[in-house]
């Protein structure tokens, strides 16, 4: 990695750290170190960074706000790219919203509501970034990113900068083409609609109240762990199996919301993965249903 670091330094690529603990950069507060951790200062540096990594054949991954992500205890080999302030732009043009990949999805939904634009209410409780939400087709309350995305600017793994239309993402439930075809979203354009500010604010307030009552937001977690099986809710299946409060090490099935696994203070990635597997085993034995995780697991196990 010495040559990679030397080349990145020579190219003036942002902030470069070695052996950075990724527990500092995930909402679960879990994860070992990244060999090299880079925070580009702007989009141009990000493009240059990807081109250098492509030429060297160096493995890399990108993180935004670190939600929906479990990093292995041994960390991540290669380069981890953190999208920082340079990709937190936001502007409104009529009903079109231009948002940088690192922009907070919660903040975006709030500001869209203040503009009297409807369509993003569902995202008011999703603690990730715009880029991560597009990658995962994040959703809630019966809607998701596929409903509102118009197009996005993406850096391919070769370093080529392209514009992808919404249909090119081949969206499905918690899935986009970026999970197979590597790329980094830099900016997205969402197509919203004019709405009644009072109605929008009321819907968002109701969603927020429900989240506060039903989700363990005061402890480190990563949102919903399992996808909802067809015609079922994962949380309901887990709760009916009596698994709320089940623990492995420092990881616990939340007593508040059965589809959340929380870090009670000293959980490891192994604890979380073991608990996930045990929940899957029990639900499969009792119901014949296979629960599929919707979290991203990364790193050396």
CA of 154: how far to CAs of 100, 135, 158, 159, 164, in Å?
11, 11, 11, 9, 7
Catalytic residue among 48, 224, 252, 254: 224
Bridge partner list, 18: 36
The total number of residues shown for the chain amounts to: 301
Sequence-ordered list of residues with C-beta below 8 angstroms from that of 165, at least 6 positions apart, any chain:
150, 151
**Catalytic site includes residue 224:** yes
Q: Closest Cα partner for 46 from 198, 130, 179, 154?
A: 154
Show the tokens assigned to 116. 């009297």
Q: Catalytic: which of 174, 176, 252, 254?
A: 174
Task: Say how many C-beta atoms besides its own lie within 10 A of residue 72's C-beta.
Answer: 19
Q: Can 210 be counted among the known catalytic residues?
A: no
Is 199 one of the catalytic residues? no
- Give the residue numbers marked as catalytic: 174, 224, 294
């Amino acid at each position: 990695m010495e040559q990679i670091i030397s080349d990145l330094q020579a190219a003036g690529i942002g902030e470069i750290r070695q052996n950075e603990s990724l527990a500092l950069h995930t909402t679960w507060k879990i994860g070992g170190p990244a060999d090299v951790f880079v925070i580009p200062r702007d989009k141009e540096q990000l493009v240059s960074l990807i081109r250098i990594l492509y030429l060297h054949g160096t493995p890399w991954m990108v993180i935004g706000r670190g939600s929906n992500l479990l990093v292995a205890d041994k960390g991540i080999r290669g380069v981890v790219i953190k999208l920082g302030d340079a990709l937190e732009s936001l502007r409104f043009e009529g009903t079109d919203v231009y948002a940088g990949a690192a922009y907070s999805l919660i903040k975006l939904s709030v500001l869209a509501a203040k503009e009297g634009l409807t369509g993003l209410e569902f995202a008011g409780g999703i603690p990730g970034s715009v880029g991560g939400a597009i990658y995962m087709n994040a959703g809630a309350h019966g809607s998701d990113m596929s409903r509102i995305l118009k197009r996005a600017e993406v850096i391919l793994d070769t370093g080529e900068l392209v514009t992808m239309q919404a249909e090119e993402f081949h969206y499905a439930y918690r899935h986009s083409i970026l999970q197979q075809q590597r790329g980094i979203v830099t900016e997205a354009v969402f197509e919203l609609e004019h709405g009644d500010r009072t109605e929008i604010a009321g819907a968002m307030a109701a969603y927020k109240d429900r989240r506060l009552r039903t989700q363990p937001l005061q402890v480190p977690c990563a949102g919903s762990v399992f996808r909802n099986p067809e015609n079922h809710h994962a949380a309901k299946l887990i709760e009916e199996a009596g698994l709320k409060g089940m623990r492995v090490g420092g990881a616990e099935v939340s007593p508040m919301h059965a589809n959340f696994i929380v870090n009670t203070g000293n959980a490891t990635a192994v604890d979380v993965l073991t608990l996930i597997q045990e929940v899957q085993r029990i639900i499969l034995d009792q119901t014949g249903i296979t629960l599929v995780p919707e979290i991203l697991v990364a790193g050396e196990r």
